[in-house]
Each structure stands twice: as C-alpha cells, then as structure tokens.
Amino acid sequence: MSEIRHTPEAPTSIKSLAPGERIDAHRHDGHQIIYAGSGVVAVTTDAGTWFAPGTRAIWVPAGCVHAHRAHGHLALHLLGLPPDTNPLGLDTPTVLAVSPLLRELFLAYTRGPHDETPERLRLRAVLLDQLRASPQQPVQLPAPTDPRLATVCDFLRRDPADPRSLSALASAAGAGERTVSRLFRQELGMTFPQWRTQLRLYHALRLLADDVPVTTVAHRCGWASTSAFIDVFRRAFGYTPGTHNRRC
C-alpha cells in the first residue's frame, strides 16, 4: 500500500460512506474496532481482506496498515482504544461476533458526546467486558503470494460462480492439483473449498448490500440452489440473506 497516512490516535467516530467509497491506507498508534451499523465494511491489509456485516466487527491492532471499503450505504462506527488496552490480546486483524447487546453498546459509545464523563467510562467498561466474551469468527480472505496460487484465486475472484474443480483451475494456472492444494493450506491456512466458500460469502454480502435479490445472489456466487446458499449464509452470519438489509 502506498501513501500511508499516519494518525496518532485511533478515532472514535461515525462516518457515512457511499457504496464503493474507500478510506485509503492508514495506520494508528492505538487499536481500533470497526463496526458497520448499516451496509458491509471490508478492511484490507497486505495479508488479505476481512469483511463484516452488522453481526460482526473487525479488530485492527495498533500500527496495522489498513484500508476500508463500503458495500452498500455504510454507517461506519469506529471505536479507538489506547495501545495498552487490548481486551482480547489480539495482535492481528480479527473478526468478532457482535451480539445484540454489543451492537447497542457500539452505537451508543460511538455516537458521543466524547467527553470522559463517569457515565461514559462505565459504558466503555461494559463494552470492553462484552468484547472479552466475543468469539472470533473466520470471515477473512487471506492474500496469496505464490504466483500459481494467486492465479487460481484470481480466476475465482473474477467469477465466484466458476464451476471448475481445483484440478482444472490448477491446470489453467500451469500447476498441479496437489501443489495448489498444499499451497492453500500452507499460505492461506484453509482448504480450497473453505477459501472458495469465504470468497462466495464475501461477494454475496456485497451483492446483498446493493439490494440484489437472494436468488440472483445465489446464482452469481455459484451455489447449486437458493436453499443451499441460505443454509451456508445463515450458518456463517447467524441470519438469513433475505433479512440482511432489514437488520440495519
């Protein structure tokens, strides 16, 4: 990432971003929690992309260079924490589950006012307690470095519904199936089917944020049926795709 902007304090604020709008690469001296009150937020670093609808938040550790992108009309809630406040002990970007209570705490705390009153300090303490209880969620698209693996991933990024098997994709990239399968596990920490499912879920969130019908989303993202898509989506995010935009 070029032209990296450095902001000493990780701000606590709310930003409204239009569909497709970006916040360029930057870093903070403190930690930041990123939450989408509406829409879907994607956070990208050199290691990959993390994405979150309203049932997820993204932890970005102090010093991590990252950029944001909005899918749908994004109400971006940013919560800054000093570098010595790390309730989960995380040193890499991580997606966290957001309960209904934690969602309301995010909304209330970022809404302000931002003066350090006793009431606000108590609100922050409850929020941090809830964060400590938040399970981590594998909602990430790691970035490949091996050229053969990158070529296979690019095929699917261009068309998530590409039905080709790993063997066919590897052959088109000039590599063997076993080699690419091993690279998925070594570089990305997941199997080929797991990575493809994460990619399809990411594209599904993007399309749903733009009000694309559920059946069309299922088709464009490569699921064999709408019911299969609904089942995978519900297991990943805790709600059905048909209710996605109504949760905002």
Relative to beta strand 13-17, strand 66-81 is: antiparallel
pTM: 0.81
Question: Nearest-5° angle of CA 235, CA 240, CA 245?
Answer: 130
Which region among 113-127, 195-209, 225-239 has the lowest average model confidence (pLDDT)? 113-127
Which carries the bigger pLDDT value, residue 69 or residue 2? 69
Q: What's the pLDDT at 92? A: 87
pLDDT band, residue 1 (cuts 50/70/90): very low
Number of Cβ atoms within 10 Å of the Cβ of 228: 11
**21-39, pLDDT tens digit by residue?**
999 999 999 999 999 888 8
Instruction: Record the tokens describing residue 186, joined without a space.
Output: 């070594």
Measured distance CA(62)–CA(228) in Å, rounded = 39
DSSP-assigned beta bridge partners for residue 140: 50
Question: Nearest-5° angle of CA 243, CA 248, CA 219?
Answer: 40
**59-88, pLDDT tens digit by residue?**
999 999 999 999 888 889 999 989 988 888
What DSSP character marks residue 23? E
Q: Which helix (H) or strand (E) holds 121?
A: helix 118-132
What DSSP character marks residue 64? -
Instruction: Record the tokens describing residue 29, joined without a space.
Output: 């001296």
Closest CA to 54 of 6, 12, 18, 96: 96
Q: Is residue 237 helix, strand or coil?
A: helix
Share of the chain above pLDDT 90, in %: 48
The yes-or-no verdict on residue 162 having pLDDT over 60 is yes
Q: What's the pLDDT at 6? A: 66
Average pLDDT estimate for 87-103: 88
In the chain, the domains with their CATH numbers are 5-140 (2.60.120.10), 144-247 (1.10.10.60)
